[in-house]
Structure 1
Amino acid sequence: MQRCNFNMDPISISDLLVATGGHAADGLDRDINFNQVVIDSRQVTPGSVFWALPGTLCDGHDFVRDACQRGAAFCVVNSDRNDWGGPVVKVAHTGAALSRFAQWYREQLEPLVIGVTGSVGKTTTREMIHAALSADHCGIRSIANYNNEIGLPLSLFQLEKSHDYGVLEMGACHSGDIRDLCAIAQPEVGVITGIVPVHLEKFGSLEQIIQTKAELLQALPSDGFAVVNGDCPHAQSVAAYANCPVIFVGESQENEYRATNVRASQHQLSFHVGDHEYHIPVSGRHHLPAALCAVAVATEVGMAAEQIAKGLLRFATAAGRCQIKQIGPWTIIDDSYNANPTSMRAACQLMQAWKTGNKKIAVVGDMLELGDEAGRYHHDLGIQIAQSDIDCLLAYGDNAYNVIAGAFEAGMDAHQMAECPMFESLLMNLDCWLEAGDVLLVKGSRTMRMERVVEWATRQTEEINNLDALSVPA
């Protein structure tokens, strides 16, 4: 379990009651201050507030007693529940109250809030903007994948009056989700990373995705600004929703922030914007839109190019997002966190450009939420893999057959690929194929839990090391 601490400027119970319309239990001291909100009772520290949220797998109300025993100052609970055995504030619905309280907290603060959304690259863009800004300013960004109606408020609670900025990632599953998040965060700057056909099962159409992502631009004040990936085919469509200046970034000539002299090696991306050169320690040209968004945001808020360059040079890739790992005798490109057709294409391009004298193996899981087009997208993925100088292919999931069929039709040797409907069969095949020096790409949608392949490789290395240690003469 990752332990996340979300500290905020001290708040009194009285302020919380005003913000949420809640009612304090008898005997609860309204002058008590708190500076942390948690939704996991295991993360309670003395003086923090436990917010009991109902969920699909468990109900936070079942852990109120545990939170109190761990030293919570008080707990926020639904008013229709009783018998808590501890200090509580009762609200009509804890989920809605969390949003109202976060919105109230945001209104007490002056830091610049930057919202980041898009179909691909949200987390990488968020992290690059933070890396650039942190070279000159003090601020925060969303933690991990905290980008929904629960995660965004918790991320927002990290902000303090002393901060200069907050970079908040905004995800969406349905129309209106971004609008609701913007009502809480009240961003002055909006960044659209790009729009591609993902989550089609939920949105129904590409046009609906465009409209939903554009909710961020509609929420910006007239004196704010938006940064949009101008190389995205839908850039103009989404920008039309803005009521403030829109800045386009990309490689094409019409972009205000245009990348030139782009060079992508296995461990570094370099490019120019105007007369200024930037270097970022990442693998793959597909990181360029995120980098340009960071350069644009930092420049527009007044930072010098030299400072921006220093910040970007310190950028570190987030877990499971194109991380290059040397695990034992293998090079593993851990891109296991998520996948869609666009990010899969970028991963194939990275593998094609990767220089090695050994095998290149792609281990891919299903791309989910593609609706009726899922079969075609996976078939196309197989074709891309076959055309990307990849030696071996392991496809895992319900759509593994379509991936294998596409690769076979594109000329890949049938003996160098395997359809793996079960995860165990994937590991068995990988164990047979993997040799010292091989380069391994691991990628798939979040639900496929492809990080298990990386964990398996780590265990294999540990076992090899243990055997080597046992074989050393005493």
Structure 2
Amino acid sequence: MNIADLHSIFLEFPNVCTDTRKITENCIFFALKGDNFNGNKFASDALQKGAKYVVIDEKEYAESDAHILVDDVLKTIQELATYHRNQSSAKVISLTGSNGKTTTKELINVVLSKRYKTIATVGNLNNHIGVPLTLLSIQNDTEIAIVEMGANHQKEIEFLCGIAQPDFGYITNFGKAHLEGFGSEEGVIKGKSELYDYLLSHERNVFLNADDPIQLEKLGSYIKKFGFSTEKHQFYKIEFLGANPFVKIKAEDISINSQLIGSYNFTNCAVAVLIGKYFGVPMNDVKDAIESYIPENNRSQILEKNGHRVILDAYNANPTSMKAALENFKEIEGKHKIAFLGDMFELGETASKEHQNIADLAKQCDFADVYLIGENFNGVRTSMKTFVSFDSAATYLKEHPLKEEADLLIKGSRGMALERLLDFI
């Protein structure tokens, strides 16, 4: 079956599923494969649960007319997504970067949805499967699709651009993330800049942080760029008014008080303002959208727990974001501060050095106490508390509960799941 014919079926049954545990009535199930599973084996099960069609790539599982046999299921869903994207009149904004992608995506979405019918990447489904699923959620009335792109090695962003074919793009920043895959900070810059390469080669529009020298250098004299800056007059001016703890900014004499902590969220808010401005969203609506946005999913949340003020930033971590979080925690008003820091993953050969650097920085911050949790942090040279695992830290907290009310920072990579510490505070 060719993509055009499959797309006709998709338009009639526009719900896509890749997990038999989440089958919806009359959906199309794509039998993807992974290292430890073969979706073809679950195709008939998907039909029994209510799927209208199943797309498979192994002939032995083709049992009925409801089984659509293709050469490669993954390639098919990617090609279908691109075909669907090109049949739509929706504009596609893609964004990538080392830190802040999901928060930035959410902010752009709430701003643009004030005036347009938008769809956006759900959560952080930003890979070779997530991007197609986002594109396939474009509906007839969708005007703008905001597509997040993640990557941990070279050529991945280039590949995702080929699927999404963005009209606009933005890179949040270049930091020390996924060094194991990218090889170095220079590798990160090269890999993330594949979004720029696509946009420039296709003469598409680029949004940028003009205060980032890397972005400014990469885009050079390119005409179709639209940037924000705190000081460069040729770009849209957005002022940073502070973050104690919430980010406050100013644009066109209008102050915006976000519910996002940390100065590192300034650029995330600023680009949402810039993009809102570009697309003609009234500034009062931009202000309302950003001020109403409340972070969730363990991203820069502020919680109260047993008298403690908790900054929960446990969704992910790398050396760049960890450094920013510590510096911000040091600057916010508060007397008794305690930091709980979990291992940073995917750092490859640099892991030992980067964990030592963060431990040294945490020591310099002179907090009341610091807990370093995980195998990497357990190996650093320090006089601070170290724990080889979450369980050992939890056991310690049960035996030595926090007595004095304090401000707490909880940050670590997703695999550490440090939000579990809330049960022991």
Question: TM-score when scaled to structure 2?
Answer: 0.92
CA contact (8 A) 2:10 2:28 kept: no
1:147 paired with 2:126, answer yes
* Shift in Å, 1:21: 8.1
Match of 1:18 in 2: 2
String of CA shifts for 1:197-225, please: whole Å, max 9, x gaps: 32121111333322221221222276632
What is the distance in 1 between the residues matched to 2:87 and 2:235?
A: 34
Residue number in structure 2 paired with 1:325: 303
Distance in 2 separating the partners of 1:326 and 1:214 = 40
User: In the alignment, what sits opposite 2:321?
Assistant: 343
Which position in structure 2 is the counterpart of 1:449? 417
CA-to-aligned-CA distance 1:406-463 (integer Å, 9 cap, x gap)? xx4xxxxx4xx31111221111223314236222221111222223323x34xx7xxx
Give 2:270's match in structure 1, choosing from 292, 296, 300: 292
Structure-2 separation of matches of 1:63 and 1:396: 39
User: Please, which of 369, 385, 402 is the counterpart of residue 434 of structure 1?
Assistant: 402
Shift in CA distance, 32/239, structure 1 to aligned 2, threshold 3 Å: closer
**Aligned position for 2:392:** 425
Counterparts in 2 of 1:147 and 1:165: CA distance versus 1, 3 Å: same
Shift of 1:108: 0.9
- The 2-side partners of 1:214 and 1:171 are apart by 12
1:210 pairs with 2:177: no
Asked if 2 retains the 8 angstrom alpha-carbon contact of 1:135 and 1:310, the reply is no
Could you tell me which of 340, 345, 365 is aligned with 1:363?
Answer: 340
- What's 2:16 paired with? 37
Contact 1:269 1:284 in 2 (8 A): yes
Structure 1 contact 172–178 (Cα < 8 Å) conserved: yes
Q: Percent identity?
A: 30
Three-state SS of the structure 2 residue aligned to 1:424 is: helix
When structure 1 is superposed on structure 2, of 347-356 and 215-224 the one drifting more is 215-224
Q: In the alignment, which residue of structure 1 is the partner of 2:84?
A: 105
Is there any run of 5+ residues in structure 2 with no aligned partner, and where?
none
Q: CA deviation at 1:365?
A: 1.2
Amino acid at match of 2:115: D
Query: Counterpart of 1:161?
Result: 140
- Where 1:173 maps in the other structure, the secondary structure is coil
| In the alignment, structure 1 residue 307 sits paired with structure 2 residue 274 | no
One-letter amino acid of the counterpart of residue 374, structure 1: A
Q: Retained in 1: the 8 A contact 2:149–2:160?
A: yes
Structure with higher Rg: it is 1
Q: 1:318: Cα distance to partner?
A: 3.4
1:68 corresponds to 2:79: no
The answer as to whether partners of 2:356 and 2:377 remain within 8 angstroms in 1 is no
1:48-447 correspondence to structure 2 within 5 Å = 48-82=27-61, 84=63, 87-220=66-199, 224-240=204-220, 245-253=224-232, 256-266=235-245, 268-357=246-335, 359-401=336-378, 403=380, 405=381, 408=382, 414=383, 417-431=384-398, 432-435=400-403, 437-447=405-415
How big is the shift at 1:151? 0.5
Amino acid corresponding to residue 243 of structure 2 in structure 1: A
8 A Cα contact 2:96 2:148, kept in partner: yes
Give the deviation of 1:276 after TM superposition: 3.1
User: Which sits farther off after the overlay, 85-94 or 231-240?
Assistant: 231-240
**Does 246-255 or 43-52 show the bigger shift?**
246-255
Q: How much does 1:348 deviate?
A: 0.8
Residue 123 (structure 1) shift:
0.6
- Secondary structure of the equivalent of 1:220? helix
Which residue identity lines up with residue 87 of structure 2 in the other structure? Q
Deviation at 1:293, TM superposition (A): 1.0
Secondary structure at 1:282's aligned position in 2?
strand
Distance of 2:14 and 2:247 partners within structure 1: 40
Query: Hey, what's the Cα distance between the residues in 2 that align with 1:142 and 1:219?
Result: 20
Maintained 8 Å contact 1:271/1:278: yes
In the TM superposition, residue 331 of structure 1 has moved relative to its aligned partner by: 2.3
Q: Is the contact made by 2:338 and 2:407 (CA closer than 8 Å) also made in structure 1?
A: yes
8 Å Cα contact 1:351/1:390 also seen in 2: no
| Residues 223 and 274 of structure 1: CA distance in aligned 2, closer, same or farther (over 3 Å) | farther
Change in Cα spacing, 1:396 to 1:21, as seen in structure 2 (3 Å) is farther
- Aligned AA for 2:264? H
**For residues 62 and 404 of structure 2, what CA distance do their matches in structure 1 show?**
60
Please name the residue that 1:467 is paired with.
none
Output the amino acid matched with 1:375. S
Q: Which runs of 5+ in 1 are unaligned?
A: 1-16, 24-28, 409-413, 461-474
User: Equivalents in 2 of 1:154, 1:301: separation in Å?
Assistant: 25
- The 3 A distance-change label for structure 1 pair 52 and 261 is closer
Q: Residue 289 of structure 1: CA displacement?
A: 0.7
Matched length: 423
Runs of 4+ more than 4 Å apart:
20-23, 29-32, 83-86
Deviations 1:344-372 (A, max 9, x none): 11211232133334x32211111122233
Q: Name the aligned partner's letter for residue 429 of structure 1.
A: Y
Q: Residue deviations 1:86-133, cap 9 Å, x none?
A: 721011111111100000110111112100111111111111111211
